[in-house]
Structure 1
Amino acid sequence: MKIAILINQSHKEEERFTTTMLAMKALDRGHDVYYIGLADFVYEDEQTILAHCRIIKPEHGLSTPGAFVNHLKDAAKTLVNLEDIDVLWLRFDPTLDMINRPWAAAAGIQFAQIVKKNGRLVINDPDYLVQANNKLYLENFPKDVRPKTLVTRNHEDVLRFLEEQKEKIILKPLKGSGGKNVFMIDYKERQNLKQTVEAIARDGYVIAQEYLPEAKKGDIRFFMMDGEPLIVDGKYAAVRRVQKEDEIRSNIHQGAKPEEAIIDEHILNLVGKVSQQLKDDNMYLVGLDIVGDKIMEVNVFSPGALFHATEILGKDFANEIIVDLEKKVKDYYQ
């Protein structure tokens, strides 16, 4: 297969990225990998979308993540007609370009939509990613799996929500990732609420969510593939992320510690409630963030932490994904 992967920028790729794991596994299984940055597309006409790609082939012999990433960053670009690729895999993070390249994510989705329209397989489905490009996507799922939520840019609305919750709430950007600008607001210490809301609102809407006491134990990143739990030899692709002391964020690059997640019937019942919607939306690979009995976020663009799940559980989840993708591509073009 020729697997094209759409990322933000090649020079920002890292060894432990989930995308790196998936690309290396594709190489191991004999496939060519084409890296495309959000600024690399070329439109000639409605039937002709090209891209300046960094192409990596199995014969390059890149056996370690370090060698892979170094090769990627040094590789020259080749202009490729995307009619010749088998699958375009969208693995970029829209929030990374919000400030310096606000045009990038929207353009990437638009080009991907044309590639899909021209008959190529695109995952996750760009037509549905349009409505899933921020945390409001969670509102498409059953009410009982979601935390109580308010979206606004007005601090008085947030104050009313805080009064209804009585104790604590979580504030964060509606469109954000990586734990940036995430705050816990205590009703007893609400004197800086207005300034906090205004600071978050500089980049768009603010989302307020009920605080779940179970959050003290961290959260669980749980991977879904084609709407079903990703599982290898009885082990689910999941990891518990435990935040540092005096820290509310469970993001690993904010210092959280990855641990083995205990996946019980309660968790499986919870993820089962969102399974059909993910299938209907053609969301091929998704990361659910679970706290207690609620799904806090549905990560549909570039869910990470697969490296940690693999390391902790000793299971080759990337291989399971690429094997499934091989079958998916074969079925798609039959």
Structure 2
Amino acid sequence: MKICFLMYPWDRIDAENDSTLRLIHEAASRSMTVALTTPNNLSIRDSVPYAFCNVLKKGDKVSASVPNFYKNASFKRCKLPLAGFDAIVMRANPPLDTTALNFLDSVRNDVFIMNDIDGLRIANNKLYPASFSGEAARFIPATHVSKSQDYLEQVFDESDSPKMIMKPLNGFGGQGVIVIEKSAQQNFRSLLEFYIGSDQGNYVILQDYIEGADQGDVRVLMLNGEPIGAMRRVPSSKDIRSNISAGGKEVKHSLSREEKALCKALGPQLVRDGLYLAGLDIINGKLIEVNVLSPGGITRINKLNRCKLQKQIMDFIENVVSARDLVIERKNAFRKAIEDAETL
């Protein structure tokens, strides 16, 4: 199988903890042809989308140690047609590069892309949880999004809670997430002015504060609509954010009955939207965010549970590609039968 990872630069990888590196290592261990590229390396020539790729050189047996694999990996630089790959795995960091998705539009029928292009377009923002309806809606906390300072002040005034969560719509990795308390309301307008900006260019999210948020959140990795692993992220004593990048610490976690019900309710829509690999952030049974670009946590969940989630993910990709190839083979066989009939 030929697989391309559309990702961040290789030299920015943290070999000890990087989730994408685990997927790349698993693909190499299966003797796949592995190519790496970044959104800045996409191009079009004669109406054909290409990527300037670093193709992993195949040599001796792949080291079982992922850090050693990373240290010793060597590449060959090539310009390759995107339609020639069996699968493209989207692992670029936020924010979403919509131009990169435009490059992939013309090859979506030739290559399995994970996650789906349209799914990334609709889900790579903090508004996506608001699209869940029916049984799934009860797991979504009340959320308000606006550029209007007056409206957001009104929402805060009318809230029954003594505090709310405020964050920028375009933030990621816990950046800009703060707790606003009624007792400090005199600072609220000034904060809104800062977050929204003088040109009224930025949307702000106000969200009900969920009890237990100070104890951290739960990151659940979903594969094809089903949970395959989870961990609890506990914030440091100096921060409200539980993101690992913000100083949080991971601990082992087993999904509660309510968390399992949340995953079951949300899973079908994730699959319908082509979001086969997603990270759910949950606090006290409520969905806070859905991460779809490069959801992390694989390495840490592996260590906590002595498992290798990358094997399940790569199994899924191989199965999808095999199923697509089978459809093409059947179609070609049927076409040949019809062509042969014409010569009788």
State TM-score, norm by structure 1: 0.90
Q: Does 1:326 align with 2:318?
A: yes
Does the CA contact (< 8 Å) of 2:6 and 2:39 recur in 1?
yes
8 A contact 1:133–1:175 mirrored in 2: no
Equivalent position of 2:226 in the other structure = 228
Q: Deviations over 1:218-249 (max 9, x none)?
A: 1000011111122xxxxxx1000000114210
The residue correspondences of 1:108-187 to structure 2 (distance < 5 A) are 108-117=100-109, 119-142=110-133, 143-166=137-160, 167-187=162-182
The aligned amino acid for 1:133 is N
**Which deviations, in whole Å up to 9, do the C-alpha atoms of 1:82-119 show, x marking residues without a partner?**
12211011111232xxxxxxxx71111111222214x2
Structure 1 residues not aligned, in runs of 5+: 96-103, 231-236
5 Å matches for 1:69-108?
A: 69-70=70-71, 75-95=75-95, 105-108=97-100
Instruction: Supply the AA of the counterpart residue of 1:8.
Output: Y
In structure 2, distance between residues paired with 1:292 and 1:58: 46
Decide whether aligned partners of structure 1 residues 57 and 238 sit closer, same or farther in structure 2, where only a CA change above 3 A counts.
Answer: farther
Secondary structure of 2:212's counterpart equals helix
Q: What is the CA-CA distance between 1:58 and the residue it aligns to?
A: 4.4
Structure 2: distance between partners of 1:253 and 1:87:
29
| Aligned 1:6-45 pairs, distance under 5 A | 6-15=6-15, 16-45=17-46
After the TM superposition, list the runs of 4 or more consecutive aligned residues in structure 1 that deviate by more than 6 angstroms: none
How far residue 76 of structure 1 moved from its aligned partner, in angstroms, is 4.9
Give the Cα–Cα distance (whole angstroms) in 2 for the partners of residues 281 and 125 of structure 1.
7
Q: Which amino acid aligns with 1:207?
A: I
Judge which range, 6-15 or 130-139, deviates more. Answer: 6-15
Letter in 2 for 1:319: K
1:305 aligns with one of 297, 304, 307: 297
How far apart are the structure 2 equivalents of 1:204 and 1:189?
23
Contact 2:281 2:289 in 1 (8 A): yes
CA distance in 2 between counterparts of 1:311 and 1:58 reads 28
Secondary structure at the aligned position of 2:52 is classed as: strand
SS of residue matched to 2:40: coil
Structure 1 partner of 2:333: none
State the Cα distance separating 1:198 from its structure 2 match.
2.6
**What's the offset of the Cα at 1:139?**
1.1
Q: What TM-score results when the alignment is normalised by the length of structure 2? A: 0.87
Query: What is the alpha-carbon root mean square deviation over aligned residues?
Result: 1.8
Q: Distance in 1 between matches of 2:244 and 2:303?
A: 14
Partners of 1:155 and 1:193 within 8 A in 2: no
> Measured at CA, do residues 2 and 57 of structure 1 come closer, stay the same or move farther in structure 2, by a change above 3 Å?
farther
**How far apart in 2 are the matches of 1:115 and 1:176?**
30
- Pick aligned residue for 1:195 from 190, 193, 207: 190
